[in-house]
Chains A and B, each alone.
Chain A
């Protein structure tokens, strides 16, 4: 069914494996169809993004651009749309990085809720050195690492080791054993109450772009929704019965 990626789902966990090293429009379409499935039909609670055979993603596929044809901005828009959909999936999302994670690959890691990488992984926002822009990493990265560091990462395009990325707060863990780290990370997310997880993430993503007055209005609206869901009602029932 898919050619650029493979998708498997077992119990609470769905895994998306990027089979191609570069991001093509075909991959964007397939990611879109995976997101449709995850939003519409899937009961899984965790979505894992990983690469294959010691690589994650080297970013955009330049073969899809022809120097003698008009440039098309809409493909970039499609890429941003799929990134924001992944960022807002009603699941916890985890990126497992083993190998180069460059350009669009690094942008993808940035929209995951957690990133775990092996020591032989490297991270780089290389776009500006190539004459274009690293997508909405220009919007997201400073929230992760601070403006000064984001300027360095995006304008000077350094190649970061996994250790560098960990120290910058770009990723959460470096380990040789991705399988155990994945199990531990899923465990750390705990029961994953979809509504609470999704609303908390949304408020956090909005936090740098909202003033306090609007932020607290947003928070109260979200909190009201959260406390009317089953998980919170079970929490207070359990507390009452203890």
Chain B
């Protein structure tokens, strides 16, 4: 007897309309610090979609914490509306057909959360089950996929939607500090929605989610974190310079765990769907788990085109992989996301 597992039926993504090159952002914020300027130029990103306000009287697109929170709320709704519609459309479903809604964000605190706002504005039913995952960072997409997939497996035939919604420009701090430069040069705005349903394996050429494996590195607890910056009256994101290497050296552990538990070898994995954390993170993962530049082609490409989109990044890569048309029935994939904690989350897919 075959057990019911969650299948990923479709994916939709969205970004705000305005796209900025690295040079555009340097010019807009009048960045003078040469180290920060070099960081923008070497970050392997061509452009990012961002929501930036009109320059103030001093010519800087400055925002206080209140405007940043308002921006997060407004653009979360706009981006989610588009991504959700794109995810539902191929299946001929409406938001009212969704029975479980999981929303993920780390770029703005709201109460009530995104699920409540989406139900109010986007036509979800009022008896829709829901979960908000807030503040888990770039890895959170897989932390959300895990309970969503479990819910699907426990409720066969019912529809679940997971929405990763990150308005990273709502974290912008304006100063010349290097840590600010890291954030302002790396992260972009974007939203990804995936539709899941518990079904028995059949000919439907969509992947089943077979397993998850988590790993947290408590020694690197503070390597990625929000700090309250009283001089700015804002939260600022801190990213330790050793993050890529720490994640790299630990990457084998969850991969070996995930594959070992499923009696698979790395060569059995046809597709690697990895979070576009940054150039150095991708390099570290590549050399530590022994995968090739070809394996990370979508991860690198999404980084180049959009920057680090936070929790939804890996779903942009997943969408790229599907659009490429190279996936065949029987193929296996590994999803891998990395973020604060420090955390590495993995999932195993089977087409």
| Residues of A near any B CB (own CB < 8 A) | 39-40, 85, 198-199, 202, 206, 213, 217-218, 220-222, 224-225, 228
Contacts and interface: CB of A to CB of B under 8 A. Distances in A.
9 contacts: A39-B265, A39-B267, A85-B267, A206-B293, A217-B280, A218-B283, A221-B288, A224-B284, A225-B287
B295 to A, nearest CB: 13
Contacts of A206: 293
B227 to A, nearest CB: 26
Given A213-B42, A228-B249, A221 B287 contact: yes
Contacts of A220: 280, 283
B75 to A, nearest CB: 32
Interface in B42-64: 42
Contacts of B245: 221, 224
B286 interface: yes
A40 B260 CA distance: 12
Interface of B: 42, 244-245, 248-249, 265, 267, 279-280, 283-284, 286-288, 290, 293
A222 B287 contact: yes
Given A199-B287, A225-B287, A217 B279 contact: yes
Most buried by A among B280, B287, B290: B287
Given A224-B248, A224-B249, A217 B267 contact: no
Nearest to B246: A224
Nearest to A90: B290
Contacts of A199: 287
Contact of B244 (A198, A202, A221, A228): A221
Contact of B248 (A39, A202, A221): A221
Interface of A is mostly: helix
Most buried by B among A198, A199, A224: A224
Given A217-B280, A218-B287, A225-B249, 13 more contacts: A39-B267, A40-B265, A85-B267, A199-B287, A202-B287, A217-B283, A218-B283, A218-B286, A221-B286, A222-B287, A224-B248, A225-B248, A225-B287
A199 B279 CA distance: 19
A199 B287 CA distance: 8
A70 B99 CA distance: 52
A225 B290 CA distance: 11
Contacts of B293: 206
Nearest to A81: B267
A61 B284 CA distance: 41
Nearest to A210: B293
A199 B245 CA distance: 16
A213 B287 CA distance: 16
A222 B244 CA distance: 12
Contacts of A221: 244-245, 248, 280, 283-284, 286-288
Contacts of A228: 249
Nearest to B281: A221
B343 to A, nearest CB: 19
Contacts of B248: 221, 224-225
A202 to B, nearest CB: 8
Contacts of A224: 245, 248-249, 284
A196 to B, nearest CB: 12
A225 B288 contact: yes
Contacts of B279: 217
A29 to B, nearest CB: 15
B270 to A, nearest CB: 13
B241 to A, nearest CB: 12
A218 B248 CA distance: 12
B282 to A, nearest CB: 9
A198 B290 CA distance: 10
A85 B280 CA distance: 26
A213 B38 CA distance: 13
Nearest to A217: B283
A6 to B, nearest CB: 24
Nearest to B42: A213
A213 B290 CA distance: 20
A206 B287 CA distance: 12
A40 B264 CA distance: 11
A163 B293 CA distance: 37
B223 to A, nearest CB: 15
